């Protein structure tokens, strides 16, 4: 089995300007407790922050005038990184799990694959149902479509599902992708 050495893309870090990095002439200032200090010149706001032994951090640069807050910049940066790690830990990337059938599948094997598909959907993944037609089975595509339809109907009886991709034939393969509704 080949090992992939692709690097995962990191989300770009959001850059917050602070103190002399703020270049606009006027800013809307919030105190360290979150109360409104009003609109001030940038130099005056930096002086006010330094008097309190804190930094002036630009929170919303798109506002008119930009919103800044008096706070400790290193503590703010740490909180932002902590929130980013927490969001990354709690996100679930939906995967596509595959369940393969054949025209000659038995009832017991079909039930096992149905249980697997339900388990995959309960975990939040999508399920791709594949039915491979070999040799002369290609002429019996209608039987394959019926088998896939009945398989999805059996799953739907216990777990409500919806189609992400309708049942279709691609070469000698009949496929459908379903997810939990």
CA distances from 9 to 6, 37, 58, 82 (A): 9, 40, 27, 19
- List the alpha helices (DSSP H) in 92-132: 107-122
Domains in the chain: ranges and CATH: 19-88 (3.10.20.80), 96-180 (3.30.110.10)
pLDDT per residue as tens digits for the range 148-180: 999 999 999 999 999 999 999 999 999 999 999
pLDDT per residue as tens digits for the range 107-131: 999 999 999 999 999 988 999 999 9
């Amino acid at each position: 089995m080949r090992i992939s050495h692709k690097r995962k893309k990191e989300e770009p870090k959001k850059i917050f300007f602070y103190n002399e990095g703020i270049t606009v002439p006027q800013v809307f200032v919030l105190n360290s407790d979150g109360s409104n200090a009003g609109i001030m010149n940038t130099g005056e706001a930096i002086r006010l922050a330094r008097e309190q032994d804190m930094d002036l951090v630009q929170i919303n640069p798109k506002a008119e005038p930009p919103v800044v807050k008096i706070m400790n910049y290193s503590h703010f940066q740490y909180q932002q990184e902590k929130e980013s790690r927490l969001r990354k830990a709690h996100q679930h990337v939906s995967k596509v799990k595959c369940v393969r059938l054949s025209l000659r599948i038995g009832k017991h094997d079909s039930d096992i694959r149905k249980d697997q598909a339900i388990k995959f959907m309960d975990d939040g993944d999508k399920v791709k149902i594949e039915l491979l037609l070999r040799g002369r089975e290609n002429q019996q595509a209608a039987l394959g479509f019926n088998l896939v339809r009945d398989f999805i109907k059996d799953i739907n009886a216990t777990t409500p599902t919806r189609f992400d991709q309708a049942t279709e034939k691609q070469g000698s393969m009949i496929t459908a992708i379903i997810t939990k509704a």
